[in-house]
Amino acid sequence: MDAGNWTRVEEFIFVGFSLSREQKILMFMFVLAAYILTLTGDLIIIVLVRVDVCLHTPMYYFISNLCFLGIGYTSTTLPKMLTDLLADTKSICVLCCFIQFYFFFVFGATEHLLLTVMAADRYMAICNPLRYPAVMSLDVCSRLASGCWVACSLALMVPTVGLSQLSFCGPNRINHFFCDFAPLLKLACSDTAATEIVFRIISWSVIISCVVFIAVSYIFIIFTILKIPSTTGRKKAFSTCAAHFVVVFIYFGTVIFIYLRTDTNDSYYVDKVVSVFYSVVTPLLNPIIYSLRNKEVKEALKRSLEKCRHAISDFFNLRKNIS
């Protein structure tokens, strides 16, 4: 196309899903319920880990970070998705699109690294229990979590800046419900090779290295657990890893399907369905798996509710005495 005939795009239009009015309302209700439950569950776990001394351990420190990531991860896409489900025009400014892209992938990549760190934590706790308190101190955990955040924030700046330097001259319709990389790249009318290579290198490096490290960690964990003589001990060891393994399996399974394929042509509808799963369903499963299946979290919640009940009772008794 002749550069002189380019019309610079000022905003993008999300295609979203081809649904009837009734289907959009049903999907809106589902996404809204999932979003509210995700926020509520994650906030409850974060507060419990913060206020309950029994949860001041490396595992729960990482879980609280994971919950914070879940809040950020869903909040970058779902509020806009909810608005678009009821709107006639599903537009987003170009700068807003790049910002959404950046934070969505920063939260996602940080979750990759954090799940890997959690696998290392479970490896140390089960395979080297005597060294675990010294190696996985809260200070070390804080540095590991901070490293995950900083590394991903810096790494994702490169493809984001690359995208912002591309020329978008129409059409401006993104075949998705958020600013994902491949649909956005399809709209560029300048050379995208360098930006695509950088993004592929980052995504492949992060996903493959995390999957390999987690797999190796769990191989050692399983062999160690099988050597435990007592059945009760084996069950307890498996239960501490089960929740993490389920989250890893679901999350990485969907992400690998989307971002480790080389050919994405004519697959946008499937990609959008899978994207709904890992951007809506998976974040909802995290607080459910880590709370409903976790005895320590449930006990901490009971203690906190009991403290709240006593505090409210004392408050009303004080007001009654004053009156």
Tell me what percent of the residues of the chain surpass a pLDDT of 90: 29
Domain count, the chain: 1
- Chain mean pLDDT for the chain: 84
Alpha helices in 5-93, H assignment, sequence order: 21-51, 58-75, 78-86
The 10s digit of each residue's pLDDT in 83-95 is: 998 888 888 999 9
Average pLDDT over residues 7-30: 86
Instruction: State the pLDDT at residue 54.
Output: 83
Instruction: State the pLDDT at residue 2.
Output: 46
Asked if residue 1 belongs to a domain, the reply is no
Asked if residue 123 belongs to a domain, the reply is yes
Copy the structure tokens of residue 279: 């951007």
Q: What angle do CA 177, 182, 184 make, to 5 degrees?
A: 65
Instruction: State the pLDDT at residue 263.
Output: 58
Helix, strand, coil fractions of the chain, as percent rounded to 5? 75, 5, 20
Asked if residue 259 belongs to a domain, the reply is yes
Inter-axis angle of helices 58-75 and 282-292, to 10 degrees?
150
Asked if residue 2 belongs to a domain, the reply is no
Asked if residue 82 belongs to a domain, the reply is yes
Q: What is the CATH number of the domain that holds 231?
A: 1.20.1070.10
Nearest C-alpha neighbor of 175 from the set 76, 78, 275:
275
Question: Which residue range(s) make up the domain with 88?
Answer: 7-322
Asked if residue 86 belongs to a domain, the reply is yes
The strand ranges marked E within 238-282 are: none
Q: Which of 279-302 are b and which e, b meaning 16 or more Cβ less than 10 Å from the residue's Cβ?
A: bbebbbbbbebbbeebebbeebbe
